[in-house]
Amino acid sequence: MSLTTESATVGFIGIGVMGKSMARHLMDGGYKVHVYTRTAEKAAELVSQGALWEDSVSSLAAKCNVVFTIVGFPPDVEEVYLGEGGLLKNMQSGGYVVDMTTSRPDLAARIFDEAQKAGISALDAPVSGGDVGAREARLSIMVGGEKEVFDKVLPLFELMGKNIVYQGKAGAGQHTKMCNQIAIAAGMMGVCESLAYAKKAGLDPVTVLKSIESGAAGSWSLSNLAPRIIKDDFAPGFFVKHFIKDMTIAIESADAMSLEVPGLKLARQLYEKVAAEGGSESGTQALFKLYT
């Protein structure tokens, strides 16, 4: 049986660029939502709209039977789930936890195992679509874990995304997100080099974009981030620092499988240069600055 507004008291941990919109969609869907984030001010807007503030992970865990998380880095995920004040040590048996952070596949599998010992069902469900996808509830959600648990949580996923795909056992969602990030990494280099070429050739980038975004070169990054680049808008829909984290996870996972990923390694090298020049808090489209 699916989780309903009557059977689910929802917790949401991580009220950032994407998390705020995702939690709001759950609230709009009629779910009672408790929220926690390390910087309380980030949750103030949601609290003013009816979300219930909790001052710790453990407090939230004790009051909710379904908890979604989208935090920054794998050590944050590990602390939220496996620490003494974390979800698995403070949530009642029979609950559900869903990590939507982009994190390590092996950590997702470990959380799944530890959750089972505590009588809790765990899914790894990273997302793609950036701030716009989160705001418009059309995220792509890639899910690993048990299929019957996925089916129960699906109505809540449907409030946050449109392309929701069950990928397989625990960790499969995170592995799928690595595939996504690998494709984006090479694609962003292409987008930036294309626009740099257009400018050098004396073309109007806006007009060029009209021709190429609907052809064989079309991509989400070209349609959504190229217009921001043209406007010199480097505000984060997705932070450079988080993309570097994702690429590092993907490279480490590829190395463990003896897979060469030279394009990905080049992209990380370039993004590390962006970060070193002060762009770690910028959006991923800030890669273009290396070409100007």
Rounded to 5, what percent of the chain is helix, strand, coil?
Answer: 55, 15, 30
Q: Which amino acid is at 286?
A: A
Measured CA to CA in angstroms, residue 226 lies from 14, 32, 131, 189, 242 at distances of 28, 38, 15, 11, 20
φ/ψ (deg, to 5) at 259? -110, 130
- Any idea which residue has 């070193």 for tokens? 276
Burial (CB count <10 Å: 0-12, 13-18, 19+), residue 107: buried
Angle of CA points 43, 47, 8, to nearest 5°:
100
Among residues 117, 177, 199, 289, the one annotated as catalytic is 177
How many angstroms separate the CA atoms of 114 and 118, rounded? Answer: 7
Angle of CA points 56, 60, 63, to nearest 5°:
145
Residue 281: strand, helix, or coil:
coil
How many angstroms separate the CA atoms of 180 and 128, rounded? Answer: 8
Q: HSE, CB side, 13 Å, CA atoms: give it for residue 145.
A: 30
Answer yes or no: 177 catalytic. yes
Where in the sequence numbering do the catalytic residues fall? Answer: 177
